[in-house]
A and B are shown apart, each in its own frame.
Chain A
Amino acid sequence: QKEVEQNSGPLSVPEGAIASLNCTYSDRGSQSFFWYRQYSGKSPELIMFIYSNGDKEDGRFTAQLNKASQYVSLLIRDSQPSDSATYLCAVPSGGGADGLTFGKGTHLIIQP
């Protein structure tokens, strides 16, 4: 059974600062990694996907992957109050169609 670990938080960050969210995973064979954002009472929505070691940038979001350390992170630059949400890290459970294994999520609060 794959495991994905996240600090549940809450993580409190001042507006305009960089928010750093971390995730570790148990299966060294995991190849792809997803970051979902979930607002309270809403469904998860994908914000980043990464499968290569190194950094991937999309607007204010940067995903960082280090397969040797089994560690993936999400950086949010110039944090806005609208970024306040729970961020879920996920890996494919098996061959892809087997669904995703999620971490428990990190609750992020951006303080105005």
Chain B
Amino acid sequence: NAGVTQTPKFQVLKTGQSMTLQCAQDMNHNSMYWYRQDPGMGLRLIYYSASEGTTDKGEVPNGYNVSRLNKREFSLRLESAAPSQTSVYFCASSDTGSTTDTQYFGPGTRLTVL
């Protein structure tokens, strides 16, 4: 039982390049999330998927798109990377998405945009 996995672990992009961050969970969870974490800013929600087939914007969605490929996988795409998107990206999942559910986090992707 691997929990939440993310690929890649590290990535360096040039401004304007695109890339997709992959996330998968093997806990049969319904809800999945993408956060970014910046020094001094804490964790901020980018997008979430309450259940398979649905996605919604979080606090900081600009410059990102997401795809809930199936119940296990939730990807985050940067179409045209900008230096402001340099951050650590965490994927998380929870069972039912209720207000008492624990969110389990993946190991993160450290992204640098030059």
How many residues on the B side are at the interface (Cβ–Cβ under 8 A)?
A: 31
- Residues of the B chain whose Cβ atoms lie less than 8 Å from the Cβ of A88: 42-43
**Cβ-defined contact, B48 with A102, below 8 A:** no
User: Is B90 at the interface (CB under 8 A from chain A)?
Assistant: yes
**Cβ-defined contact, B105 with A98, below 8 A:** no
**Cβ-defined contact, A92 with B105, below 8 A:** no
Q: Which of B78-108 contact A (CB under 8 A)?
A: 90, 94, 96-108
- Residues of the A chain whose Cβ atoms lie less than 8 Å from the Cβ of B50: 97-98
A102–B41 alpha-carbon span in the complex (Å):
9
A42–B106 alpha-carbon span in the complex (Å):
9
User: Is B25 at the interface (CB under 8 A from chain A)?
Assistant: no
**Cβ-defined contact, B43 with A44, below 8 A:** yes
Using a CB–CB distance below 8 Å, which chain B residues touch chain A?
Answer: 30-31, 33, 35, 40-45, 48, 50-51, 56, 58-59, 90, 94, 96-108
Using a CB–CB distance below 8 Å, which chain A residues touch chain B?
Answer: 1, 8, 31-32, 34, 42-46, 49, 51, 88, 90, 92-93, 95-105
